[in-house]
Structure 1
Amino acid sequence: MTGFTKLIDGYYKFRGTEWLEERERWSELATGQSPKVMIISCSDSRVDPATIFGSRPGEVFVVRNVAALVPPFDPSGGLHGVSAAIEFAVTKLKVEEIVVLGHGACGGVNAALTKSLKDSKPGEGGFVAEWIKLLDGARDKVLAEHGATDKGQAALEQEGVRVSIENLKTFPFIQKALDDGTLNIHGAVFAIADGKLRVLDEENHFTPA
Protein backbone atom coordinates (compact mmCIF):
# COMPACT_ATOMS: atom_id res chain seq x y z
CA MET A 1 0.00 0.00 0.00
CA THR A 2 1.42 3.39 -0.98
CA GLY A 3 1.29 6.43 1.25
CA PHE A 4 -1.48 7.99 -0.84
CA THR A 5 -3.62 4.85 -0.98
CA LYS A 6 -3.27 4.59 2.77
CA LEU A 7 -4.62 8.12 3.06
CA ILE A 8 -7.58 7.23 0.84
CA ASP A 9 -8.23 4.18 3.00
CA GLY A 10 -8.18 6.46 6.04
CA TYR A 11 -10.63 8.79 4.33
CA TYR A 12 -13.12 5.97 3.78
CA LYS A 13 -12.89 5.03 7.44
CA PHE A 14 -13.41 8.67 8.43
CA ARG A 15 -16.32 9.08 6.02
CA GLY A 16 -18.03 5.99 7.41
CA THR A 17 -17.55 6.77 11.10
CA GLU A 18 -16.53 10.22 12.38
CA TRP A 19 -18.13 12.14 9.53
CA LEU A 20 -21.43 10.34 10.00
CA GLU A 21 -21.30 10.82 13.77
CA GLU A 22 -20.66 14.56 13.33
CA ARG A 23 -22.80 15.02 10.22
CA GLU A 24 -24.83 17.87 11.67
CA ARG A 25 -21.67 19.71 12.68
CA TRP A 26 -20.12 19.24 9.23
CA SER A 27 -23.28 20.69 7.71
CA GLU A 28 -22.90 23.74 9.95
CA LEU A 29 -19.22 24.07 9.06
CA ALA A 30 -20.07 24.02 5.36
CA THR A 31 -21.67 27.44 5.82
CA GLY A 32 -18.56 29.02 7.39
CA GLN A 33 -16.04 28.91 10.21
CA SER A 34 -15.70 30.86 13.44
CA PRO A 35 -12.71 29.48 15.38
CA LYS A 36 -11.74 31.36 18.52
CA VAL A 37 -8.12 30.19 18.54
CA MET A 38 -5.29 30.32 16.03
CA ILE A 39 -2.36 27.93 16.48
CA ILE A 40 1.02 28.53 14.86
CA SER A 41 2.93 25.28 14.96
CA CYS A 42 5.68 23.30 13.27
CA SER A 43 5.13 21.25 10.12
CA ASP A 44 6.70 18.26 11.89
CA SER A 45 4.59 15.14 11.29
CA ARG A 46 4.80 14.22 14.98
CA VAL A 47 3.21 17.42 16.23
CA ASP A 48 -0.41 17.73 15.13
CA PRO A 49 -2.17 20.50 17.11
CA ALA A 50 -5.60 18.91 16.74
CA THR A 51 -4.28 15.67 18.21
CA ILE A 52 -2.37 17.33 21.05
CA PHE A 53 -5.25 19.57 22.13
CA GLY A 54 -8.11 17.23 21.24
CA SER A 55 -9.85 19.89 19.17
CA ARG A 56 -12.81 19.22 16.90
CA PRO A 57 -13.17 20.40 13.29
CA GLY A 58 -13.82 24.13 13.14
CA GLU A 59 -12.39 24.90 16.59
CA VAL A 60 -8.85 26.00 15.69
CA PHE A 61 -7.35 27.86 12.75
CA VAL A 62 -3.88 26.42 12.16
CA VAL A 63 -0.83 27.55 10.20
CA ARG A 64 2.20 25.25 10.18
CA ASN A 65 5.74 25.89 9.03
CA VAL A 66 9.33 24.88 9.79
CA ALA A 67 10.01 25.51 13.52
CA ALA A 68 6.69 27.33 14.11
CA LEU A 69 8.25 30.68 13.24
CA VAL A 70 6.59 34.04 12.66
CA PRO A 71 8.48 36.64 10.60
CA PRO A 72 8.35 40.31 11.57
CA PHE A 73 5.72 42.52 9.93
CA ASP A 74 6.83 43.44 6.42
CA PRO A 75 4.70 46.03 4.58
CA SER A 76 6.64 45.66 1.31
CA GLY A 77 4.29 43.00 -0.05
CA GLY A 78 5.37 39.73 -1.59
CA LEU A 79 4.52 36.10 -0.93
CA HIS A 80 4.13 35.90 2.85
CA GLY A 81 2.10 32.79 3.64
CA VAL A 82 2.43 32.92 7.42
CA SER A 83 1.69 36.63 7.57
CA ALA A 84 -1.34 36.18 5.30
CA ALA A 85 -2.73 33.46 7.57
CA ILE A 86 -2.21 35.66 10.63
CA GLU A 87 -3.90 38.61 8.96
CA PHE A 88 -6.88 36.49 7.94
CA ALA A 89 -7.23 34.95 11.40
CA VAL A 90 -7.06 38.25 13.28
CA THR A 91 -8.81 40.69 10.94
CA LYS A 92 -11.41 38.44 9.31
CA LEU A 93 -12.06 35.52 11.64
CA LYS A 94 -11.53 37.70 14.71
CA VAL A 95 -9.79 34.97 16.69
CA GLU A 96 -9.49 35.80 20.37
CA GLU A 97 -6.28 33.89 21.09
CA ILE A 98 -3.09 32.96 19.26
CA VAL A 99 -0.97 30.04 20.47
CA VAL A 100 2.61 29.64 19.27
CA LEU A 101 3.41 25.95 19.71
CA GLY A 102 7.02 24.81 19.63
CA HIS A 103 8.11 21.24 20.24
CA GLY A 104 10.94 19.00 21.37
CA ALA A 105 13.37 17.39 18.92
CA CYS A 106 12.60 20.09 16.34
CA GLY A 107 14.71 19.63 13.20
CA GLY A 108 14.41 23.26 12.17
CA VAL A 109 15.62 24.44 15.54
CA ASN A 110 18.49 21.95 15.43
CA ALA A 111 19.50 23.25 12.00
CA ALA A 112 19.49 26.79 13.38
CA LEU A 113 21.53 25.76 16.40
CA THR A 114 24.15 23.80 14.51
CA LYS A 115 24.00 25.76 11.23
CA SER A 116 23.95 22.39 9.46
CA LEU A 117 22.33 24.01 6.43
CA LYS A 118 24.87 26.81 6.09
CA ASP A 119 26.16 25.51 2.75
CA SER A 120 22.73 25.55 1.09
CA LYS A 121 22.40 28.07 -1.70
CA PRO A 122 19.33 29.71 -3.24
CA GLY A 123 18.30 27.67 -6.25
CA GLU A 124 19.75 24.49 -4.72
CA GLY A 125 17.40 24.40 -1.79
CA GLY A 126 18.36 27.05 0.71
CA PHE A 127 14.79 27.88 1.67
CA VAL A 128 15.05 26.37 5.14
CA ALA A 129 18.45 27.98 5.72
CA GLU A 130 17.01 31.41 4.96
CA TRP A 131 13.87 30.80 7.00
CA ILE A 132 15.66 29.76 10.18
CA LYS A 133 17.75 32.92 10.12
CA LEU A 134 14.81 34.25 12.11
CA LEU A 135 16.44 32.44 15.04
CA ASP A 136 19.94 33.90 14.60
CA GLY A 137 19.69 36.32 17.53
CA ALA A 138 18.22 33.70 19.83
CA ARG A 139 20.82 31.19 18.65
CA ASP A 140 23.69 33.47 19.69
CA LYS A 141 22.15 33.87 23.13
CA VAL A 142 21.65 30.11 23.57
CA LEU A 143 25.11 29.17 22.30
CA ALA A 144 26.72 31.59 24.74
CA GLU A 145 24.95 29.92 27.65
CA HIS A 146 24.59 26.27 26.66
CA GLY A 147 26.55 25.62 23.46
CA ALA A 148 25.27 23.26 20.77
CA THR A 149 24.13 20.67 23.33
CA ASP A 150 20.85 18.98 24.25
CA LYS A 151 20.25 21.80 26.74
CA GLY A 152 20.96 24.26 23.96
CA GLN A 153 18.44 22.52 21.72
CA ALA A 154 15.73 22.67 24.38
CA ALA A 155 16.57 26.29 25.19
CA LEU A 156 16.39 27.35 21.54
CA GLU A 157 13.05 25.57 21.12
CA GLN A 158 11.73 27.79 23.89
CA GLU A 159 13.48 30.90 22.59
CA GLY A 160 11.94 30.27 19.19
CA VAL A 161 8.47 30.58 20.70
CA ARG A 162 9.47 33.84 22.37
CA VAL A 163 10.88 35.18 19.08
CA SER A 164 7.64 34.38 17.25
CA ILE A 165 5.55 36.06 19.94
CA GLU A 166 7.65 39.22 19.76
CA ASN A 167 7.40 39.21 15.98
CA LEU A 168 3.62 38.86 16.21
CA LYS A 169 3.55 42.10 18.16
CA THR A 170 5.16 43.94 15.23
CA PHE A 171 1.95 43.53 13.20
CA PRO A 172 -0.11 46.74 13.68
CA PHE A 173 -3.47 44.95 13.66
CA ILE A 174 -2.24 42.51 16.31
CA GLN A 175 -0.89 45.26 18.54
CA LYS A 176 -4.20 47.09 18.22
CA ALA A 177 -6.14 43.97 19.16
CA LEU A 178 -3.84 43.43 22.15
CA ASP A 179 -4.32 47.04 23.24
CA ASP A 180 -8.10 46.74 22.82
CA GLY A 181 -8.15 43.56 24.91
CA THR A 182 -9.73 41.52 22.12
CA LEU A 183 -6.70 39.27 21.60
CA ASN A 184 -4.35 37.26 23.81
CA ILE A 185 -1.13 35.52 22.79
CA HIS A 186 0.19 32.35 24.40
CA GLY A 187 3.34 30.28 24.00
CA ALA A 188 3.83 26.57 24.61
CA VAL A 189 6.29 23.75 23.90
CA PHE A 190 5.23 20.13 23.50
CA ALA A 191 7.75 17.43 24.36
CA ILE A 192 7.42 14.48 22.02
CA ALA A 193 9.40 12.12 24.26
CA ASP A 194 7.20 12.40 27.37
CA GLY A 195 4.08 14.07 25.99
CA LYS A 196 4.34 16.97 28.40
CA LEU A 197 3.19 20.47 27.52
CA ARG A 198 4.95 23.49 28.98
CA VAL A 199 3.26 26.87 28.82
CA LEU A 200 4.84 30.32 28.84
CA ASP A 201 3.76 32.08 32.02
CA GLU A 202 3.49 35.76 32.89
CA GLU A 203 7.09 35.80 34.08
CA ASN A 204 8.25 34.55 30.67
CA HIS A 205 9.12 31.07 31.95
CA PHE A 206 7.90 27.75 30.60
CA THR A 207 6.07 25.76 33.25
CA PRO A 208 4.14 22.45 33.09
CA ALA A 209 0.54 22.88 31.97
Structure 2
Amino acid sequence: MARIQSWKRGCCAGPAGLASGMEPGRDAVAECDAPPAEGAALRRLVNGFGQFRHQHFEVDEELFSRLLEGQHPEVMVIACSDSRTDPAIICGARPGDLFVVRNVAALVPPPAADGRPHGTASAIEFGVKALGVRHIVVLGHSFCAGVRCLLEHDHGTRPFDYVSDWVEVAREVREEMNGLVTDAERVLVARRAEQAALLTSLRHLAAYPFIAERVAAGRLSLHGWYFHFGWGVLQAALGPRGPFRQLDPDGPLHPAIGSAEALGRAA
Protein backbone atom coordinates (compact mmCIF):
# COMPACT_ATOMS: atom_id res chain seq x y z
CA MET A 1 0.00 0.00 0.00
CA ALA A 2 2.82 2.41 0.86
CA ARG A 3 4.31 2.02 -2.59
CA ILE A 4 1.20 2.91 -4.51
CA GLN A 5 0.56 5.86 -2.20
CA SER A 6 4.06 7.20 -2.77
CA TRP A 7 3.62 7.63 -6.53
CA LYS A 8 0.26 9.28 -6.11
CA ARG A 9 1.37 11.95 -3.67
CA GLY A 10 0.64 15.28 -5.31
CA CYS A 11 -0.99 13.66 -8.33
CA CYS A 12 -4.51 14.64 -7.38
CA ALA A 13 -4.36 17.95 -5.61
CA GLY A 14 -8.01 18.53 -6.36
CA PRO A 15 -9.72 18.58 -9.75
CA ALA A 16 -7.20 21.03 -11.23
CA GLY A 17 -4.37 18.58 -10.63
CA LEU A 18 -6.12 15.83 -12.53
CA ALA A 19 -7.09 18.06 -15.42
CA SER A 20 -3.53 19.27 -15.96
CA GLY A 21 -2.46 16.16 -17.87
CA MET A 22 0.87 16.17 -16.05
CA GLU A 23 2.62 13.07 -14.81
CA PRO A 24 1.74 11.94 -11.27
CA GLY A 25 3.85 13.65 -8.65
CA ARG A 26 4.28 16.94 -10.47
CA ASP A 27 2.78 20.04 -9.01
CA ALA A 28 -0.38 21.24 -10.69
CA VAL A 29 0.34 24.81 -11.74
CA ALA A 30 -1.51 27.14 -14.02
CA GLU A 31 0.16 27.36 -17.40
CA CYS A 32 -0.82 30.97 -17.85
CA ASP A 33 -1.93 33.47 -15.22
CA ALA A 34 -3.36 35.93 -17.73
CA PRO A 35 -7.07 35.40 -18.40
CA PRO A 36 -7.98 34.77 -22.05
CA ALA A 37 -9.87 37.38 -24.00
CA GLU A 38 -13.57 37.21 -23.23
CA GLY A 39 -15.29 34.77 -25.54
CA ALA A 40 -12.08 33.90 -27.42
CA ALA A 41 -12.58 30.15 -27.06
CA LEU A 42 -16.16 30.35 -28.32
CA ARG A 43 -15.11 32.65 -31.15
CA ARG A 44 -12.61 30.03 -32.33
CA LEU A 45 -15.44 27.50 -32.47
CA VAL A 46 -17.62 29.81 -34.55
CA ASN A 47 -14.72 30.47 -36.93
CA GLY A 48 -14.05 26.75 -37.02
CA PHE A 49 -17.60 26.10 -38.15
CA GLY A 50 -17.01 28.46 -41.04
CA GLN A 51 -13.97 26.41 -42.03
CA PHE A 52 -16.01 23.22 -41.73
CA ARG A 53 -18.65 24.56 -44.11
CA HIS A 54 -16.00 25.62 -46.61
CA GLN A 55 -13.78 22.51 -46.42
CA HIS A 56 -16.41 19.82 -45.97
CA PHE A 57 -20.06 20.81 -46.29
CA GLU A 58 -19.72 22.87 -49.47
CA VAL A 59 -17.08 20.60 -51.02
CA ASP A 60 -18.85 17.27 -50.49
CA GLU A 61 -22.54 18.06 -50.91
CA GLU A 62 -23.21 14.51 -52.11
CA LEU A 63 -21.98 13.04 -48.82
CA PHE A 64 -24.14 15.33 -46.73
CA SER A 65 -27.13 14.66 -48.95
CA ARG A 66 -26.71 10.94 -48.20
CA LEU A 67 -26.34 11.64 -44.50
CA LEU A 68 -29.70 13.43 -44.55
CA GLU A 69 -31.25 10.03 -45.23
CA GLY A 70 -29.65 8.51 -42.13
CA GLN A 71 -26.39 7.31 -40.67
CA HIS A 72 -24.78 3.96 -41.45
CA PRO A 73 -21.43 3.84 -39.65
CA GLU A 74 -19.59 0.52 -39.59
CA VAL A 75 -17.45 1.45 -36.59
CA MET A 76 -18.36 2.47 -33.06
CA VAL A 77 -15.60 4.11 -31.00
CA ILE A 78 -15.82 4.26 -27.23
CA ALA A 79 -13.38 6.99 -26.27
CA CYS A 80 -12.39 9.17 -23.35
CA SER A 81 -13.87 12.65 -22.97
CA ASP A 82 -10.33 14.06 -22.87
CA SER A 83 -10.10 17.08 -25.18
CA ARG A 84 -6.75 15.86 -26.55
CA THR A 85 -8.01 12.56 -27.95
CA ASP A 86 -10.83 13.18 -30.40
CA PRO A 87 -11.25 9.87 -32.27
CA ALA A 88 -12.47 11.51 -35.47
CA ILE A 89 -9.35 13.68 -35.64
CA ILE A 90 -6.97 10.89 -34.62
CA CYS A 91 -8.37 8.55 -37.28
CA GLY A 92 -9.06 11.12 -39.99
CA ALA A 93 -12.74 10.16 -40.09
CA ARG A 94 -15.39 11.93 -42.16
CA PRO A 95 -18.90 12.79 -40.97
CA GLY A 96 -20.90 9.57 -40.83
CA ASP A 97 -17.87 7.27 -40.46
CA LEU A 98 -17.97 6.79 -36.70
CA PHE A 99 -20.62 6.35 -34.04
CA VAL A 100 -18.82 7.81 -31.03
CA VAL A 101 -19.47 7.21 -27.34
CA ARG A 102 -17.35 9.30 -24.96
CA ASN A 103 -17.03 9.30 -21.20
CA VAL A 104 -14.36 9.71 -18.55
CA ALA A 105 -11.59 7.13 -19.17
CA ALA A 106 -13.48 5.36 -22.01
CA LEU A 107 -15.02 2.95 -19.51
CA VAL A 108 -17.70 0.37 -20.25
CA PRO A 109 -19.70 -0.76 -17.21
CA PRO A 110 -20.70 -4.42 -16.95
CA PRO A 111 -24.28 -5.30 -17.95
CA ALA A 112 -26.84 -4.16 -15.39
CA ALA A 113 -30.50 -4.36 -16.44
CA ASP A 114 -31.73 -2.82 -13.20
CA GLY A 115 -34.29 -0.35 -14.52
CA ARG A 116 -31.99 2.63 -13.94
CA PRO A 117 -30.77 4.93 -16.73
CA HIS A 118 -27.42 3.89 -18.20
CA GLY A 119 -25.99 6.41 -20.65
CA THR A 120 -22.99 4.48 -21.93
CA ALA A 121 -24.82 1.16 -22.17
CA SER A 122 -27.74 2.76 -24.00
CA ALA A 123 -25.42 4.32 -26.58
CA ILE A 124 -23.68 0.98 -27.11
CA GLU A 125 -27.03 -0.78 -27.49
CA PHE A 126 -28.20 1.80 -30.04
CA GLY A 127 -25.03 1.52 -32.08
CA VAL A 128 -25.19 -2.28 -32.18
CA LYS A 129 -28.93 -2.92 -32.47
CA ALA A 130 -30.19 0.12 -34.39
CA LEU A 131 -27.18 1.04 -36.52
CA GLY A 132 -25.70 -2.42 -36.92
CA VAL A 133 -22.06 -1.42 -36.46
CA ARG A 134 -19.60 -4.18 -37.40
CA HIS A 135 -16.69 -3.13 -35.22
CA ILE A 136 -16.41 -1.62 -31.74
CA VAL A 137 -13.13 0.08 -30.81
CA VAL A 138 -12.39 0.98 -27.19
CA LEU A 139 -9.90 3.83 -27.53
CA GLY A 140 -7.77 4.46 -24.45
CA HIS A 141 -4.93 6.94 -24.21
CA SER A 142 -1.85 7.95 -22.26
CA PHE A 143 -1.89 10.51 -19.45
CA CYS A 144 -5.51 9.67 -18.63
CA ALA A 145 -6.72 11.64 -15.62
CA GLY A 146 -9.68 9.31 -15.11
CA VAL A 147 -7.41 6.31 -14.64
CA ARG A 148 -5.23 8.30 -12.26
CA CYS A 149 -8.32 9.14 -10.23
CA LEU A 150 -9.17 5.43 -10.07
CA LEU A 151 -5.71 4.55 -8.76
CA GLU A 152 -5.96 7.09 -5.95
CA HIS A 153 -9.09 5.68 -4.38
CA ASP A 154 -7.30 3.08 -2.29
CA HIS A 155 -6.13 5.75 0.15
CA GLY A 156 -9.33 7.73 0.35
CA THR A 157 -8.79 10.51 -2.18
CA ARG A 158 -12.17 11.43 -3.71
CA PRO A 159 -11.93 14.91 -5.25
CA PHE A 160 -15.12 14.54 -7.32
CA ASP A 161 -18.72 13.69 -6.50
CA TYR A 162 -19.50 11.80 -9.71
CA VAL A 163 -16.18 10.90 -11.35
CA SER A 164 -14.97 9.06 -8.26
CA ASP A 165 -17.98 6.73 -8.39
CA TRP A 166 -17.84 6.34 -12.16
CA VAL A 167 -14.23 5.14 -12.37
CA GLU A 168 -15.02 2.35 -9.90
CA VAL A 169 -16.34 0.56 -12.99
CA ALA A 170 -12.69 -0.46 -13.48
CA ARG A 171 -11.76 -1.03 -9.83
CA GLU A 172 -10.13 -4.36 -10.71
CA VAL A 173 -7.39 -2.31 -12.38
CA ARG A 174 -6.55 -0.64 -9.08
CA GLU A 175 -6.45 -4.02 -7.37
CA GLU A 176 -4.12 -5.33 -10.07
CA MET A 177 -1.77 -2.36 -9.77
CA ASN A 178 -1.77 -2.20 -5.97
CA GLY A 179 1.64 -2.90 -4.49
CA LEU A 180 3.42 -2.94 -7.86
CA VAL A 181 4.57 0.66 -7.92
CA THR A 182 7.86 2.24 -6.93
CA ASP A 183 8.85 5.86 -7.48
CA ALA A 184 11.01 4.79 -10.43
CA GLU A 185 8.09 2.94 -12.01
CA ARG A 186 5.37 5.57 -11.67
CA VAL A 187 5.25 6.53 -15.37
CA LEU A 188 5.44 2.94 -16.59
CA VAL A 189 2.67 1.76 -14.27
CA ALA A 190 0.42 4.68 -15.23
CA ARG A 191 0.65 3.51 -18.84
CA ARG A 192 0.07 -0.09 -17.78
CA ALA A 193 -3.01 0.90 -15.77
CA GLU A 194 -4.45 2.81 -18.73
CA GLN A 195 -4.11 -0.24 -20.94
CA ALA A 196 -5.54 -2.48 -18.21
CA ALA A 197 -8.60 -0.21 -17.94
CA LEU A 198 -9.08 -0.45 -21.71
CA LEU A 199 -8.96 -4.26 -21.55
CA THR A 200 -11.44 -4.28 -18.66
CA SER A 201 -13.87 -2.29 -20.81
CA LEU A 202 -13.40 -4.79 -23.65
CA ARG A 203 -14.25 -7.73 -21.40
CA HIS A 204 -17.29 -5.90 -20.02
CA LEU A 205 -18.43 -5.25 -23.60
CA ALA A 206 -18.21 -8.94 -24.44
CA ALA A 207 -20.51 -9.75 -21.49
CA TYR A 208 -23.52 -7.93 -22.99
CA PRO A 209 -25.78 -10.64 -24.47
CA PHE A 210 -26.58 -8.70 -27.65
CA ILE A 211 -22.85 -8.21 -28.24
CA ALA A 212 -21.81 -11.76 -27.36
CA GLU A 213 -24.43 -13.11 -29.77
CA ARG A 214 -23.12 -11.03 -32.67
CA VAL A 215 -19.47 -11.78 -31.89
CA ALA A 216 -20.22 -15.52 -31.84
CA ALA A 217 -22.00 -15.22 -35.19
CA GLY A 218 -19.06 -13.39 -36.76
CA ARG A 219 -21.09 -10.20 -37.23
CA LEU A 220 -19.20 -8.04 -34.74
CA SER A 221 -15.56 -7.65 -33.70
CA LEU A 222 -14.17 -5.88 -30.62
CA HIS A 223 -10.91 -3.95 -30.68
CA GLY A 224 -8.80 -2.29 -28.01
CA TRP A 225 -6.67 0.61 -29.24
CA TYR A 226 -4.31 2.69 -27.14
CA PHE A 227 -3.18 6.13 -28.30
CA HIS A 228 0.06 7.45 -26.82
CA PHE A 229 -0.15 11.08 -27.84
CA GLY A 230 3.28 11.83 -26.38
CA TRP A 231 4.78 9.60 -29.06
CA GLY A 232 2.08 9.81 -31.71
CA VAL A 233 1.70 6.03 -31.64
CA LEU A 234 -1.44 3.90 -31.92
CA GLN A 235 -1.33 0.37 -30.49
CA ALA A 236 -3.82 -2.50 -30.62
CA ALA A 237 -4.57 -5.25 -28.11
CA LEU A 238 -3.95 -8.72 -29.51
CA GLY A 239 -6.42 -10.34 -27.13
CA PRO A 240 -8.83 -9.58 -24.27
CA ARG A 241 -5.86 -9.40 -21.87
CA GLY A 242 -3.27 -8.01 -24.28
CA PRO A 243 -0.49 -7.67 -25.16
CA PHE A 244 -0.38 -4.52 -27.29
CA ARG A 245 1.45 -3.96 -30.54
CA GLN A 246 1.81 -0.92 -32.75
CA LEU A 247 -0.76 -0.61 -35.52
CA ASP A 248 0.66 -0.47 -39.02
CA PRO A 249 -1.52 1.01 -41.79
CA ASP A 250 -0.52 -1.91 -44.01
CA GLY A 251 -0.42 -4.54 -41.28
CA PRO A 252 -3.02 -7.06 -40.07
CA LEU A 253 -6.05 -5.91 -38.08
CA HIS A 254 -6.69 -8.68 -35.60
CA PRO A 255 -9.62 -8.05 -33.22
CA ALA A 256 -9.03 -8.43 -29.49
CA ILE A 257 -12.32 -10.34 -29.26
CA GLY A 258 -13.94 -11.98 -32.27
CA SER A 259 -12.68 -13.81 -35.32
CA ALA A 260 -10.39 -12.33 -37.93
CA GLU A 261 -12.78 -13.72 -40.54
CA ALA A 262 -15.43 -11.29 -39.30
CA LEU A 263 -13.26 -8.44 -40.54
CA GLY A 264 -13.39 -9.83 -44.05
CA ARG A 265 -17.15 -10.32 -43.94
CA ALA A 266 -17.64 -6.74 -42.74
CA ALA A 267 -15.34 -5.23 -45.35
Q: Normalized against structure 1, the TM-score is what?
A: 0.93
Q: In the alignment, is the contact (CA less than 8 A) between 1:143 and 1:152 conserved in 2? A: no
Deviation at 1:126, TM superposition (A): 1.1
Equivalent residue in structure 2 for 1:165, among 202, 213, 227: 202
Superposed displacement of residue 27, structure 1: 0.8
Amino acid paired to 1:27: S
| Partner SS for 1:136 | helix
Task: Name structure 1 gaps, 5 residues minimum.
Answer: none
Question: Take 1:47 and 1:178, find their aligned partners in 2: how far apart are those partners?
Answer: 27
Query: In structure 1, how many angstroms separate the alpha carbons of the residues matched to 2:174 and 2:90?
Result: 27
The code of the aligned residue for 2:90 comes to I
Residue by residue over 1:72-116, the C-alpha shift from the partner in whole angstroms, topping out at 9 and shown as x without a partner, is: 111112221100110001111111110000000001011112238
8 Å Cα contact 1:111/1:117 also seen in 2: no
AA of the residue aligned to 1:5: R
In structure 1, what is the Cα distance between the partners aligned to 2:45 and 2:161?
30
Alignment partner of 1:42 out of 57, 77, 80: 80
3-state SS, counterpart of residue 189 of structure 1:
strand
Give the aligned partner of residue 173 of structure 2: 138
Partner of 1:194: 231
- State how far apart, in whole Å, the 2-side matches of 1:117 and 1:92 are: 41
Structure 1 position 117, deviation (Å): 7.5
TM-score by length of 2: 0.73
**Structure 2 letter corresponding to 1:57:** P
Alpha-carbon spacing, 1:147–1:72, altered in 2? closer, same or farther (3 Å): farther
**For 2:68 and 2:132, how far apart are their aligned partners in 1?**
19
Pairing of 1:16-31 with structure 2 (within 5 A): 16-31=54-69
Q: Which amino acid aligns with 2:180?
A: E
Which of residues 103, 116, 119 in structure 1 aligns to 2:158? 119
Calculate the aligned-residue CA RMSD, in Å.
Answer: 1.6
Corresponding pairs, count: 205
Distance 1:83 1:6 in 2: 33
Q: 1:119 to 1:48 in 2, by over 3 A?
A: closer
Aligned-residue offset at 1:19: 1.1
CA-CA distance at 1:119 after TM superposition: 3.3
Runs of at least 5 residues in structure 2 that lack an aligned partner in the other structure? 1-38, 248-267
Match of 1:100 in 2: 138
Amino acid at match of 2:158: D
In structure 2, what residue type is equivalent to 1:169? A
Once the two structures are superposed, the pairs formed by residues 62-77 of structure 1 within 5 Å of their partners are 62-77=100-115
Structure 1 stretches of at least 4 aligned residues deviating more than 3 Å after TM superposition? none
Larger radius of gyration: 2
Aligned position for 2:189? 152
Seq. identity, %: 37
Partner of 2:244: 206
How far is 1:118 from its partner?
2.8
Matches within 5 A, 1:51-70: 51-70=89-108
Amino acid at match of 1:134: V
Amino acid at match of 2:171: D
SS in 1 for 2:219: coil
Q: 1:9 aligns with which of 19, 41, 47?
A: 47
